[in-house]
């Protein structure tokens, strides 16, 4: 509050300054909020990225015009009007100066609307809260990114700067003003501040590339609106408005907007409930209507109306939107505009402009709620501040929301948070797939057909051989372990933590099966070799002390390949009729899926048992595993699963060879009967796919062991850590 009061003083000083020394007028010019403000982001960007700057400047150019105009104006009409001039910009965001207030309020009918509109305009592109708050801080931050994607680097800066900006002029702003205007930096202290404040609306405008253009094209409408109720505003205000109007109706919009903001905010002191409502209404209606006018439409409207401003404004608009260096042009334009110092045009222009956007009603509402009450200034200040905070908060929230919603980085971060978001597990996916295949089978008429369909569904067969439930159990172990690994890391010193991370990552790499089976035809199947190698690994890993699993493996081996041998050796070569081929194909299909499911389930069981055993080893202190041992074990686990995968692929290949024989027989026997050939081809494809699926399940399951091995490593590290004993 006191800040604001001081502000007023400062401002008055500034005015005095201006009044006293016409020479200083030029210096005072920067006070023009519009020019300086737009520059702010640009200059900041300058430091960061030059290209960005050019971009920003280009965008800003909607404003440069005004800047020039303003300056010109000041120079030419540096009388009482000039004195008032500084006060004008002010109202923009904070509406601090007392002088400005009355000036702006008398023409109330017209200016307020724009204000609302300005806010509203901002609202369309940004969260409502931001608009409501009117605080320069959020606006600036918003603007920078919005004006052009490339300006992104500038954005954060803008944000940072926006914060300090508040009442006291900051070095940044002062800096900015000169750069933007390329004038001596004699700028009064409050000038930059004002500039910044004013910048807010303008930047908002720049955010919407299209609106800006339209806005600039609209000035012609000014005369039309002239008849609008402009109750003889003070000359000062008039000249100001004219000046603003000259660089496009946005100018007037902004000034008027500023006024309205002031008045609206003021009203808040009286009608605190109303203010938010009004702003919201304004925002809503703008949101509803802002997207309406295309530049073409607006320019057409501009053509329809003619006046001094019309003639002068279009040139200003053109350069600002299209050429990167429009400054000279606007300056020229500015002169006539400044001369045309009648309040009505500008006020009218703003109201008509927004009327054209369907904002008329909103404006009316705002007008009705604008009693002039300068005593509410302090409260106003409070309001602005608190709104600013609210806006900042909202922006922060929205940013987080956006990050988390849009996935990408944010999503991955979220996934890393334990327990965040349900992630479907592999077993769940398989179960769902199973249910699907059941659903399909259910559509079939006979129970026999249903059974047949189930027999060729890998997920159903995995369920039958308990593969799914082994997987589910393994997932449960993994979940628990993951939590423990994370907990264990918290006990480590920072150096150890780095070391731990690299080791923990390495475990994952050791366990990665990779794509070794590129040349799967190279596998020469040998049941004995498989059993021998697998048994050796199982013994070393020590999870099958009863050797039950090894026995089961041998049984399964015999079951799978014994049957297959019979079929391949006897039935397939003798299949000559279409019927024989067809039924053998079905049989081989079932057998293949069965074999794949069986081997996969066995492998899943082994992986799960190994997982349990790793946990048990950890709990039995005497069998504590060294880090080297953990890596060696991981490598063995990998090799074991690789064996299973090889086994699985070879089983599939043998079946496929049988199918290939059948396919040849089919082409000979079938003749024109394409059905059986089609059947064999379909089965061949299906078997291929199922085998691939199964190997990927094995791979995924193996990776579920990662946390178990990681626990061994963190245990080892914790043991050597002075900070924490075993978890």
Which residues of the chain form contacts with other proteins (CB under 8 A)?
Answer: 422, 431, 435, 438-439, 441-445, 447, 450-451, 454, 460, 464, 466, 469-470, 473, 476-477, 479-480, 545-546, 548, 608-609, 612-613, 615-616, 619-620
The 3-state secondary structure of 477-535 reads HHHHHHHHHHHHHHCCCHHHHHHHHHHHHHHHHHHCCCCCHHHHHHCCCCHHHHHHHHH
For residue 443, the minimal CB distance to other proteins (Å) is: 6
Tokens for 262, please give them. Answer: 């002031």
For residue 454, the minimal CB distance to other proteins (Å) is: 4
CB neighbourhood size of 389 (10 A): 14
For residue 564, the minimal CB distance to other proteins (Å) is: 23
CB neighbourhood size of 616 (10 A): 12
The H or E element that residue 427 is part of is helix 426-442
According to DSSP, residue 107 is labeled T
Closest to other proteins by CB, 60 or 706:
706
SS3 418: coil
Closest to other proteins by CB, 81 or 457:
457
According to DSSP, residue 423 is labeled -
> At residue 569, what are phi and psi to the nearest 5 degrees?
-80, -35
Closest to other proteins by CB, 11 or 543:
543
570 near 588, Cβ under 8 Å? no
285 near 358, Cβ under 8 Å? yes
Closest to other proteins by CB, 61 or 431:
431
For residue 445, the minimal CB distance to other proteins (Å) is: 5
According to DSSP, residue 571 is labeled I
d(CA 717, CA 723) in angstroms, rounded, equals 11
Closest to other proteins by CB, 609 or 647:
609
Closest to other proteins by CB, 255 or 613:
613
For residue 556, the minimal CB distance to other proteins (Å) is: 16
Closest to other proteins by CB, 479 or 724:
479
CB neighbourhood size of 51 (10 A): 12
For residue 466, the minimal CB distance to other proteins (Å) is: 5
d(CA 631, CA 713) in angstroms, rounded, equals 9
CB neighbourhood size of 21 (10 A): 13
For residue 629, the minimal CB distance to other proteins (Å) is: 20
The H or E element that residue 184 is part of is none
SS3 239: helix
Closest to other proteins by CB, 443 or 722:
443
SS3 369: coil
Q: Which residue has the tokens 């150890």?
A: 496
> At residue 286, what are phi and psi to the nearest 5 degrees?
-65, -40
Closest to other proteins by CB, 382 or 479:
479
158 near 144, Cβ under 8 Å? yes
For residue 592, the minimal CB distance to other proteins (Å) is: 19
Closest to other proteins by CB, 442 or 725:
442
Closest to other proteins by CB, 390 or 452:
452
Closest to other proteins by CB, 116 or 711:
711
Closest to other proteins by CB, 273 or 442:
442
CA 76 distance to own-chain centroid: 49
For residue 707, the minimal CB distance to other proteins (Å) is: 12
For residue 645, the minimal CB distance to other proteins (Å) is: 23
For residue 714, the minimal CB distance to other proteins (Å) is: 16
CB neighbourhood size of 163 (10 A): 16
d(CA 411, CA 407) in angstroms, rounded, equals 4
Closest to other proteins by CB, 522 or 619:
619
d(CA 253, CA 347) in angstroms, rounded, equals 8
For residue 126, the minimal CB distance to other proteins (Å) is: 38
For residue 545, the minimal CB distance to other proteins (Å) is: 8
44 near 203, Cβ under 8 Å? no
Closest to other proteins by CB, 207 or 431:
431
CB neighbourhood size of 375 (10 A): 11
Q: Which residue has the tokens 């699993």?
A: 549
For residue 411, the minimal CB distance to other proteins (Å) is: 21
Tokens for 117, please give them. Answer: 């509109």
404 CB-near residues (< 8 Å, 6+ apart): 410, 411, 414
Q: What's the Cα-to-Cα distance from 334 to each of 64, 67, 83, 264, 342, rounded to whole Å?
A: 11, 9, 18, 30, 14
For residue 451, the minimal CB distance to other proteins (Å) is: 7
């Amino acid at each position: 509050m006191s800040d604001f009061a001081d502000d007023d003083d400062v401002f008055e000083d500034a005015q005095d300054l201006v009044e006293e020394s016409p020479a200083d007028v030029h210096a005072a010019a920067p006070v023009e909020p519009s020019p300086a403000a737009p520059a702010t982001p640009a200059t900041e960007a300058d430091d960061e990225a030059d290209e960005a700057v050019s971009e920003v400047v280009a965008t800003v150019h909607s404003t440069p015009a005004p800047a020039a105009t303003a300056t010109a104006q000041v120079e030419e009409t540096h009388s009482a009007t000039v004195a008032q001039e500084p006060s004008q910009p002010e109202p923009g965001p904070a509406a601090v100066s007392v002088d400005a207030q009355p000036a702006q309020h008398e023409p109330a009918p017209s200016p307020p609307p724009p204000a609302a509109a300005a806010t509203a305009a901002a609202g369309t592109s940004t969260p409502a809260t931001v608009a409501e708050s009117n605080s320069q801080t959020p606006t600036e931050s918003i603007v920078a990114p919005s004006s052009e994607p490339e300006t992104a680097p500038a954005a954060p800066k803008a944000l940072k700067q926006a914060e300090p900006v508040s009442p006291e002029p900051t070095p940044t702003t002062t800096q900015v003003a000169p750069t933007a205007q390329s004038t001596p930096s004699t700028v009064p202290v409050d000038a930059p501040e004002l500039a910044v404040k004013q910048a807010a609306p303008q930047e908002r405008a720049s955010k919407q590339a299209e609106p800006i253009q339209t806005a600039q094209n609209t000035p012609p409408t000014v005369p039309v609106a002239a008849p609008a109720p402009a109750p003889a505003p003070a000359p000062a205000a008039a000249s100001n408005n004219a000046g603003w109007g000259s660089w496009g109706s946005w100018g007037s919009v902004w000034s008027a907007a500023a006024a309205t903001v002031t008045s609206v905010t003021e009203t808040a002191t009286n009608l605190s409930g109303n203010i938010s409502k009004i702003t919201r209404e304004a925002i809503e209606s703008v949101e509803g209507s802002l997207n309406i006018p295309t530049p073409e439409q607006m320019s057409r409207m501009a053509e329809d109306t003619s006046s001094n401003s019309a003639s002068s404004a279009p040139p200003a608009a053109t350069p600002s939107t299209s050429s990167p260096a429009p400054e000279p042009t606007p300056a020229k334009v500015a002169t006539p505009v400044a001369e045309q110092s009648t309040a009505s045009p500008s006020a009218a222009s703003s109201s008509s402009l927004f009327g054209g956007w369907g904002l008329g009603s909103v404006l009316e509402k705002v007008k009705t709620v604008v009693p002039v009450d300068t005593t509410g200034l302090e409260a106003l200040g409070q309001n602005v501040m608190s709104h600013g905070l609210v806006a900042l908060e909202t922006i922060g929230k929205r940013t987080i929301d956006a990050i988390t919603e849009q996935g990408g980085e944010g999503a991955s971060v979220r996934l890393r948070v334990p327990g965040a978001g349900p992630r479907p597990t592999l077993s769940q996916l398989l179960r769902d797939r199973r249910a699907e295949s059941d659903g399909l089978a259910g559509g079939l008429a006979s129970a026999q057909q249903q059974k047949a369909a189930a027999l060729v569904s890998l997920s159903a067969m995995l369920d039958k051989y308990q593969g799914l439930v082994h997987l589910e159990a393994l997932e449960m172990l993994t979940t628990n372990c993951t939590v423990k690994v994370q907990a264990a890391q918290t006990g480590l010193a920072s150096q150890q933590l780095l070391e731990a991370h690299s080791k923990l990552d390495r475990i994952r790499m050791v366990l990665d099966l990779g794509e070794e089976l590129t040349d799967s035809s190279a596998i020469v199947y040998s049941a004995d070799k498989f059993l021998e190698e697998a048994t050796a690994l199982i013994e070393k890993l020590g999870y099958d002390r009863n050797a039950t699993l090894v026995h089961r493996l041998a049984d399964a081996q015999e079951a799978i390949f014994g049957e297959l041998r019979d079929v391949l050796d006897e039935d397939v070569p003798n299949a000559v009729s279409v019927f024989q081929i067809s039924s053998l194909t079905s049989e081989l299909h079932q057998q293949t899926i069965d074999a794949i499911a069986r081997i996969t389930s066995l492998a899943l069981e082994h992986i799960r048992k190994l997982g349990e055993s790793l946990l048990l080893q950890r709990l039995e202190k005497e069998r504590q595993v060294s880090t080297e041992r953990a890596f060696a074990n991981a490598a063995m686990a990998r090799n074991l699963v690789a064996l299973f995968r090889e086994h699985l692929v070879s089983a599939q290949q043998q079946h496929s060879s049988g199918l290939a024989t059948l396919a040849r027989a089919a082409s000979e026997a079938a003749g024109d009967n394409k059905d059986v050939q089609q059947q064999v081809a379909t089965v061949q494809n299906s078997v291929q796919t199922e085998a691939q699926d199964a190997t990927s399940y094995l791979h995924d399951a193996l990776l579920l062991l990662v946390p178990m091995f990681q626990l061994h490593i963190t245990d080892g590290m914790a043991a050597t850590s002075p900070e924490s004993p075993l978890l």
